[in-house]
Structure 1
Amino acid sequence: MGDKSIDRGAAGLTSLRRYTWWTVPGMTACVLAVFVGEWVLDGDVPLWARVPAAAALAVEVWASVVLLSRRLALLPVTDTHPGAPPAGLLIAAAGAGVALAAFPLALRNYGLWPVAPALVVAILATYLPPYRRRLLIAGAVAFASLPGGVVSLVEGDGELAYAALFPAGLVAFTAWVTLGPLWAWDTARRLHEARRLEAELAIREERLRFAADLHDIQGHHLQVIALKGELAARLVEQDPARAAAELKEIRRLAADALSDTRAVVQGYRRTTLEDEIANATRVLAAADIDARMAVDPDAATTGLTDSARHLLGLVMREATTNVLRHSRARHAEVDYRIADGFAHLRVSNDAAEVQPAALQGTGLRTLAERLGAAGGKLTWNHHGERFAVTAALPANPPEPTQPPKAPPPQNPADGAPR
């Protein structure tokens, strides 16, 4: 996942945040300004109710917008802990909501008085975990029927049903339209955060893969160079000509190591199993190790993917390096064949260490994870003085060629010769 896709996701998240702000805090301010403001400006409303209601409306609009804007800034890790609202703002919003409910209710305006309290309940619900949120909304819906119903009964105005049912429905509706966009916003933010973390993990995984490839290349080449250097040191007096040949080989190996390192940095180098088997034959022979190669001839024609050949080549290289570095082997065996739809590679040697240092490193374990991700398996075992590494990867054999169908026999009645 590249940086461009993350940038596009961030741009989309900014647009969604802008839309959510206008949907929730913006619409809350508009609802209060239109419905309650129209009532405050109504000349038929007594002045004793309009003046304090106007002050309460200003406080309610300010506190509601700030509370919802801060809620948008939160990133809940889970739905169970959205965060805690600022206590001072919540108290101011609740107090203003009570005032905006009391004055219209005193004048028997059953449709207006629940507007501000319903918004306060919805705002508080956005900060609560799901269980408490449901309890708050259910309790508010049940309680909303009481104030208007009691006033209607006392006044005997015949509007009991409207006074009791409309406020309850308004509380439920307000909670629904407020929590819905915020839920979508929280989900989008969590998805964006997960996407960003996924991109970071992909980058780290690629760095680990590069480090593993570089470790394999450098470790293998340096081990062979060290081995041939020791051999040249022993032969310099006994057989100067062969010692000179070994020194030339060391120079070639150093050049190959430099070239392979540059290729890995540029991302071009792909190890293949065939190349590593041929290289292991030469290297093990140079170390006076009797290496027996049992390679199934049919395995070369099997439709193994380049990625699978690359992974098996890495296994072959790591196993060869371990034979040279962590054993005093005199005999080694390499077996490669295709069976039961899998490519099987087994590398074993004798004279292994009592506690092989190869098991304490990260080479085999890293390769085991990579083969597992490709649907294969890498195992190793130490029995007595023998140490064996076994790898298996799914093989894709080519489709068998269908023999040409014989032409149908002709009927003599059709005029063909008998």
Structure 2
Amino acid sequence: MTQSEVPASHSGHRYTTSARGRMSRLNITTQLAVIVPVGTMLIAYDSATWWEALVLLAGVAASMVAVVLWARERILAFAVPLLAVAAAVWLFGVLVTGSTTAFYGLSVVVPLIVPGMPRHRVPAAVASVAFIAATGALRLLVAAGDPGWTAFQFVLLPGGVLVFTLGFMFANQAFYQILAELDEAREHEAELAVARERIRFASELHDIQGHTLHVVKLKTALAEKLVRRDAGRAEEELREINALVGDTIKQTKELAYAQRRLTLAAELENAKNLFEAAGIRVRITREAAVNGRTGELLGQVLRETTTNILRHAEAGQVRITLSERGITIVNDGAAGDVLPELRGLSTLRERLAVEGGDLVVAQNGAEFVTSAVFPAGAAR
């Protein structure tokens, strides 16, 4: 097993940052696409003069700024000025112009701020609803007409809208919290899977060297005792020690460069177990059985690709297709437009080329494809 050039922590940080940036842009685009047209229509409907429209526009502007800051996770730092502007517009609408839609800014700003507060979220939500209702009730003191209709327009409707949007955002916050916890659990599972792979590697290394070193120790002690009593026997023991050390060096080198003989069936089962342990769905399609040297090489490709996916991708699903001439591994965890440099796969590409095969690494959107293929007649 060889290690890729990009450290897992750096790669994971890159992928996480990229995904968060895309999510932020998506949130800003989708919410502004609703807030701006609705706010514009409300201003056009509820303002009789240009200065009334200007004040209502301040509430819509506060909503737009709040959306951008919320998507970038910076809204709490600007909570006070945003709430002050939205509250001032509502007071203006209640006491001066009788604008029934002046609460629009508060109905957007408050739900974006309160659910994200580190503490006292419920009291803050209750206080916000009480403020918008109490402020609306002031309209009963300055306006003539039907008190019931006035109470509905300035108390019940704004309070109800705020309760609804707050409930929606609290549910949305809980949903994202669950997603964050699931993502953290998945990351831990991936780390455990990589740790298991390292333990497996260490176990193989121990199998190769542990027994040999123990035997070498015994034979060295025996040769030391025989060197004066039976020089011929001592010489034979030393030759065996030399052969053992040479064979161990060879096996260790093969293990380090993923050249040790392995079976493709075992690697398929190992990859399946590792992916499932990391919470990644796996679909394996076996169109044909592959054995011999070709099976060993494809097993090495699968092992290296499995390690790369666990360490460097954010895959939710992996598809493995085994044909008579090769293997294709597709994962949906790619991010960014630049292919990462994977030293292990580069080494395997050279190894497959010597055997007449070809290793292709490509990225298609969010999918990362690793495909090892032998031409007809080359596989054996």
The answer to whether the aligner puts 1:22 opposite 2:21 as a matched pair is no
Label 1:30 to 1:175 Cα distance change in 2 as closer, same or farther (>3 A).
Answer: farther
The answer to whether the aligner puts 1:38 opposite 2:44 as a matched pair is yes
Question: Counterparts of 1:20 and 1:99 in 2: how far apart (Å)?
Answer: 27
Structure 1 equivalent of residue 247 of structure 2: 256
1:166 positional shift:
0.8
The alignment partner of 1:85 has SS state of helix
Match for 2:70: what amino acid? L
Label 1:46 to 1:110 Cα distance change in 2 as closer, same or farther (>3 A).
Answer: closer
Structure 2 equivalent of residue 236 of structure 1: 227
Structure 2 equivalent of residue 171 of structure 1: 162
Seq. identity, %: 27
Match for 2:44: what amino acid? E
Post-superposition CA distance 1:273-316 (Å, at most 9, x none):
xxxxxxxxxxxxxxxxxxxxxxxxxxxxxxxxx99xxxxxxxxx
Residue pairs, 1:374-413, within 5 angstroms: none
Question: Counterparts of 1:47 and 1:19 in 2: how far apart (Å)?
Answer: 33
Partner of residue 52 from structure 2, selected from 39, 49, 52: 49
Residue pairs, 1:269-308, within 5 angstroms: none
1:85 positional shift:
1.4
The answer to whether the aligner puts 1:121 opposite 2:110 as a matched pair is yes
Q: TM-score, normalised by structure 1?
A: 0.50
Question: Counterparts of 1:249 and 1:208 in 2: how far apart (Å)?
Answer: 30
Question: Counterparts of 2:142 and 2:95 in 1: how far apart (Å)?
Answer: 12
Structure 1 equivalent of residue 72 of structure 2: 70
Question: Counterparts of 1:139 and 1:51 in 2: how far apart (Å)?
Answer: 28
The alignment partner of 1:111 has SS state of coil
Output the aligned Cα RMSD: 3.8
Question: Counterparts of 1:136 and 1:16 in 2: how far apart (Å)?
Answer: 27
Contact 1:225 1:250 in 2 (8 A): yes
Residue pairs, 1:101-140, within 5 angstroms: 101-107=90-96, 109=98, 111-129=100-118, 132-140=120-128
Stretches of structure 1 that go unaligned for 5 or more consecutive residues are: 74-83, 271-305, 308-418
Q: Aligned residue pairs: how many?
A: 251
Contact 2:223 2:238 in 1 (8 A): yes
Post-superposition CA distance 1:121-148 (Å, at most 9, x none):
212213313x622221122223332222
Question: Counterparts of 2:50 and 2:116 in 1: how far apart (Å)?
Answer: 36
Structure 2 equivalent of residue 157 of structure 1: 145
Label 1:262 to 1:226 Cα distance change in 2 as closer, same or farther (>3 A).
Answer: same
1:255 positional shift:
3.0
Label 1:168 to 1:233 Cα distance change in 2 as closer, same or farther (>3 A).
Answer: same
Post-superposition CA distance 1:229-254 (Å, at most 9, x none):
22112212211232222123212322
Contact 2:129 2:162 in 1 (8 A): yes
Contact 1:121 1:140 in 2 (8 A): yes
Question: Counterparts of 2:37 and 2:164 in 1: how far apart (Å)?
Answer: 16
Post-superposition CA distance 1:157-203 (Å, at most 9, x none):
21144132111101112223444445444543443344344334432
Contact 1:9 1:192 in 2 (8 A): no
The alignment partner of 2:120 has SS state of helix
Larger relative contact order (CA 8 Å, sep ≥ 6)? 2
The answer to whether the aligner puts 1:143 opposite 2:131 as a matched pair is yes
Match for 1:229: what amino acid? T
1:65 positional shift:
3.1
Contact 1:24 1:181 in 2 (8 A): no
Question: Counterparts of 2:60 and 2:182 in 1: how far apart (Å)?
Answer: 36
Partner of residue 198 from structure 1, selected from 189, 192, 198: 189
Question: Counterparts of 1:27 and 1:39 in 2: how far apart (Å)?
Answer: 17
Match for 2:130: what amino acid? A
Structure 2 equivalent of residue 280 of structure 1: none
Match for 1:245: what amino acid? E
Stretches of structure 2 that go unaligned for 5 or more consecutive residues are: 263-268, 271-380
Q: TM-score, normalised by structure 2?
A: 0.54
1:113 positional shift:
2.4
